[in-house]
Chain A
Amino acid sequence: NAGVMQNPRHLVRRRGQEARLRCSPMKGHSHVYWYRQLPEEGLKFMVYLQKENIIDESGMPKERFSAEFPKEGPSILRIQQVVRGDSAAYFCASSLQGGNGNTIYFGEGSWLTVV
């Protein structure tokens, strides 16, 4: 799972600024997932993407959050006009194939702090 690379590892933003979190999946993986871990809460699914396509965004907040996984380059989770409640650990994961029964490997996470 060391192959899923996330950056930055730690990010501090003032309220109202934008946060961009990047994720490079494991080599050969074309399925990417973003999760959020809030203090005192569990890990919550946000969005599932394949190259250039959003497959499932049922866990994404309706406003200010967006995700992409372009043909070239890393997947990006973008949070606009951040608020204090956005402070959390954001984890990216990847798998070789989609659907059930495929091992999902996680990155080290990006810790966002909004001040």
Chain B
Amino acid sequence: SQELEQSPQSLIVQEGKNLTINCTSSKTLYGLYWYKQKYGEGLIFLMMLQKGGEEKSHEKITAKLDEKKQQSSLHITASQPSHAGIYLCGADDPGGGADGLTFGKGTHLIIQP
């Protein structure tokens, strides 16, 4: 079965600094999703990447899927307190089946003022 490894597990960043979170798959990624979860709340969809080399941006958050489609990175520019939370990467079943997404364990992001 597919496994997703996120790094780092936790991250403390000073407000205004840039940061990168990585998500590495044990198998080729056919669809990679990034979500953000605030503590005690639901998941907010950020972006979905499908093609090798694809890059998408939303406000100050950029996500990329590498050419080999086994790793994705999430980059936040000029971090703000509102960026704090748990970032989760999820992947489609590589067999194209009907089941749900496989998720990494998440990266806990803390923004220090």
Instruction: Please list the residues of chain A having a beta carbon within 8 angstroms of any beta carbon in chain B.
Output: 1, 4, 6, 33, 35, 41-46, 48, 55-56, 58-59, 91, 93, 98-101, 103-109, 111
Contact = CB atoms under 8 A, between A and B. Distances in A.
Nearest to B103: A43
Question: Which of the listed residues B31, B42, B99, B105 has the most CB atoms from chain A within 10 Å of its own CB?
Answer: B42
Given A1-B43, A103-B45, A109-B41, A33 B93 contact: no
Interface of B: 30-31, 33, 35, 40-45, 48, 50, 88, 90, 92-93, 96-106
Given A56-B99, A59-B99, A100-B93, A43 B88 contact: yes
Q: Across chains A and B, which 7 residue pairs bring their CB atoms closest together, nearest first?
A: A45-B100, A108-B42, A106-B43, A100-B92, A42-B105, A43-B103, A56-B99
A56 B97 contact: yes
20 contacts: A1-B43, A1-B44, A41-B105, A42-B88, A56-B99, A59-B100, A91-B43, A93-B43, A99-B98, A100-B93, A100-B96, A101-B30, A101-B48, A101-B92, A104-B100, A106-B35, A106-B42, A106-B43, A108-B41, A109-B41
B69 to A, nearest CB: 13
Contact of A107 (B40, B42, B100): B42
Given A100-B93, A103-B45, A55 B88 contact: no
A48 B100 contact: yes
Nearest to A47: B100
B90 to A, nearest CB: 8
Contacts of B105: 41-42
A2 to B, nearest CB: 9
